[in-house]
């Protein structure tokens, strides 16, 4: 997903893309926000798995 967003922001709209380089603040913020969402998802999944494990032990 991150490569697709990076490619999209660097190519669209044609002739005047949203970002000009990989170091553009907009692109870096998108990548950091997706990284944050990824880690939050991992933590939520770990919590859910622990809860399911406790329910199975009963």
pLDDT at 38: 95
Largest CA-CA distance found in the chain, in angstroms, rounded: 62
Q: State the CB neighbour count (10 A cutoff) for residue 24.
A: 15
Please name which of 16, 17, 38 lies closest in space to residue 6, comparing C-alpha atoms: 17
* pLDDT beneath 70: ranges in the chain: 1, 58
pTM score above 0.85: no
H helices within 1-58, ranges in order?
A: 2-11, 25-57
pLDDT at 1: 65
The token pair that represents 57 in the structure block? 């032990």
Give the whole-angstrom CA distance, residue 45 versus residue 38: 11
pLDDT at 49: 94
């Amino acid at each position: 997903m991150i490569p697709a967003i990076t490619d999209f922001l660097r190519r669209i709209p044609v002739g005047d893309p949203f970002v000009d380089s990989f170091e553009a603040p907009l692109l870096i913020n998108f990548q950091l926000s997706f990284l944050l969402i990824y880690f939050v998802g991992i933590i939520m999944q770990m919590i859910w798995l622990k809860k399911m494990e406790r329910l199975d032990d009963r």
